[in-house]
Amino acid sequence: MSIRPIRFFVLVVLMVFGFLGAPLWANVLGDMQTFAPNTDGLDFITVHSSRPLKKGFFAVGGHFSYAKDHLQVFNPLGTQEHLNYSDQLVEFDTDVSYALGKQLGVFLAVPTLLWQESAKDQSVDVEITRGVHAFRPGFKYVFSNDPEAFAFVGSVDIPNVQNSPYTGIDPRPIVNLEVAKNWKTSGRVTYGTNLGYRLREPTARPTDAQMFPLDDQVIFSLARSAPLFSKTGWVAEAFFSVPVDKDPYNKMVHAASADLLLGIKHRIRTNMNIDAGVTVEPFIDSQSPKFRAFAGLVYYFKPTWFDRSATPEPEETIVPAETVDQELAAMTDEGDIPGKASAPVKLGALKVSPQYVEVFEGSTVEFQAQSLNEPIVMELLSGSGIVYDSEFIYRAPLKAERARIRFTDAVGSTKIARVIVKPIPRADETLRIKNLKFVFAKAELIDESQKEIRRIVRVLRNKKVKRIIVEGHTDSVGSNRYNLELSEKRAKTVREILIDELYLKRDQVYAIGFGEERPVATNKTDAGRQRNRRVDLKVYYEK
């Protein structure tokens, strides 16, 4: 990939700092920058997504924001009479993120004040020096590959200020610790929430300050994003900070912040988004501006010096459901490992393979995407099912239908993959294995459970088996994605034993996981959950 976009971005940043002139610090804004774009641009605008950036990729963002009536001013300070102070300012936020691995990313945010002006006909005149008012290094760690997993976000505001009314005469670093969580609903709507704590160490108030330095705060935010047009989505957010102890403020709201955001994210290229929108303060006198408008770009790229990961070998995926002829009890649950089934697709200089695939309901297809122009975006054009774009995985719905999936690379080239989802044929016999016991932290069965499966094998050896479909099922404890992966891992483990013990070809034994989707008992009781943790064997005989 050409390095020109990087050079252009660096040039713009240098021009901005050149324009700023000598003092690169602000003496009033401090750390109360209530509009702080998330540094990887994923899903939302200021709320952190719990999805990871793809390994080896950079995200570089720049956002301009105009804020009206931003400053908190009391006059007189002793009685804390809130002054409706009129001011306006323009900020520029520079953000750089890099994904060190599939679950860990690091970032640096640099908020900069470009311009500020206060109305001249006021009893108090507050002036702000232009420049960088903080450096914010940090990291995001996602706890699993589940797109609905939790993530932990940590950062440190290193104030580049002097005599700040927000932090005091000798500003100290401020630590921000947050937990992020995403989840999706039908209709491709994504929700997100962040909950965290801001550790502050305020120092003495500057003599000319018209407010008090702020102490520790709880920070909380909610977000919702959904498609608006083919390349445009809308985002709604609410983000707040609340003091742990309001003293020395008389009212807690004066030491808090509250913003409501409505914006759009528009993809102008596969690897470049535009963010734009407004925020308002919801009719209270907090640390937030009464109104803000913002616009910015987020650009994604993967430097050519990173090795392209090897493409995994293809693996069959197809699978299962019906009535039970026998129940064969095994052991109880004890530590399970999630996994995922796979069945590939490749992209080159945009080449897709396979462009047509037939799978059973509930199956997963893992598309191994490759292109000379990354990143590649995967979208569900028609049909249902779930697309996990960050991993190029498609999970078929639990019904027969047709689906179309579009792959788009960074230069706009597209290919369509077509998936035919077929119903599971009725089995000649269904055998149920309940409560398989796995070795903790490993994808292998304990000896007792292996013996139970081999007992079944001895029965099947005397019959002419044509095909077996192995179905994995779980209870409802844990996230839906985790349970789907867990049930697939169980099914694939049993599949390997059946292939070895029955001397079957690999294409004669299929594995699929249904997670918690097809319970046979209630999940409200221990006994019911135990019945739901099972593996079913769908056996088809030669006629």
Report strand pairing: 356-360 vs 414-422: parallel
Distance CA 301, CA 499 (A): 43
Backbone angles phi, psi at 455, to 5 degrees: -65, -40
Q: Measured between alpha carbons, how far is 362 from 516 in angstroms, rounded to an integer?
A: 12
CA atoms within 13 A on the CB side of 134: 29
User: Which CATH architecture group holds 429-541?
Assistant: 2-Layer Sandwich (3.30)
Question: Mean pLDDT, the chain, as a whole number?
Answer: 79
Residue spans of the domains in the chain: they are 4-301, 340-422, 429-541
Contact 445, 436 (CB under 8 A): yes
State the average pLDDT over residues 197-220.
Answer: 89
Residue 249 C-alpha from the chain's centroid:
37
187: pLDDT strictly greater than 60: no
| Bigger pLDDT: 220 vs 16 | 220
pLDDT digits (tens, 9 = 90+) for 503-527: 888 889 988 888 898 899 999 998 8
Give how far the C-alpha of residue 400 lies from the chain's centroid of Cα atoms, to the nearest Å.
29
CATH number given to 4-301:
2.40.160.40
Judged against a pLDDT cut of 80, whether residue 341 lies above it is answered with no
Four-residue CA torsion sign, 498, 504, 506, 509: negative
What is the sign of the dihedral through the CA atoms of 464, 469, 474 and 478? positive
Please tell me the number of Cα atoms within 13 Å of 88 on its side-chain side. 7
Among 202-216, 308-322, 350-364, the least confident range:
308-322
Provide the pLDDT for residue 413.
Answer: 80
Report residue 6: phi and psi, to 5°: -65, -45
Over residues 200-224, the mean pLDDT reads 90
Quote the DSSP letter at residue 185. E
pLDDT at 227: 83
Nearest to 270 by CA among 57, 93, 99: 57
Q: Which of 395, 394, 474 is nearest to 434 (CA)?
A: 474
pLDDT recorded at residue 402? 92
User: pTM for the complete prediction?
Assistant: 0.59
In whole angstroms, what is the distance from residue 14 CA to residue 172 CA? 27
Residue-wise pLDDT for 280-304, tens only, equals 999 888 889 999 999 999 998 878 6
| Cβ pair 538, 427 in contact under 8 A | yes
Query: Which is the CATH superfamily of the domain at 340-422?
Result: Cupredoxins -  blue copper proteins (2.60.40.420)
Integer Cα distance of 524 and 531 in angstroms = 12
Residue from 486, 470, 437, 450 nearest 537 by CA: 470
Report the Cα 337 to chain-centroid distance in Å: 21
Q: 416: how many CB neighbours lie within 10 A of its CB?
A: 13
pLDDT category of residue 313 using cuts at 50, 70 and 90: very low
Count other Cβ atoms within 10 Å, centred on residue 8: 11
Say whether pLDDT at 135 is over 60. yes
Mean pLDDT of 38-43: 91
Enumerate the H helices of 107-224 as residue ranges: none
- The Cα–Cα gap between 512 and 317 comes to 7
Cβ neighbors of 78 (< 8 A, separation 6 or more) are none
3-state secondary structure of 17: helix
Least confident of 182-191, 433-442, 511-520: 433-442
* pLDDT at residue number 19: 37
Task: Determine the Cα–Cα distance for residues 445 and 454; give it in Å rounded to an integer.
Answer: 12
Pairing of strands 377-382, 401-408: antiparallel
Given a contact cutoff of 8 angstroms between Cβ atoms, the answer to whether 342 and 312 are in contact is: yes
- Before 173, cis peptide (omega within 30)? no
Query: Residue 16: is its pLDDT beyond 50?
Result: no
Residue 406 has pLDDT above 70, yes or no: yes
Tell me the CB-side half-sphere exposure of residue 103, using CA atoms within 13 A.
11
Residue 326: the pLDDT is 38
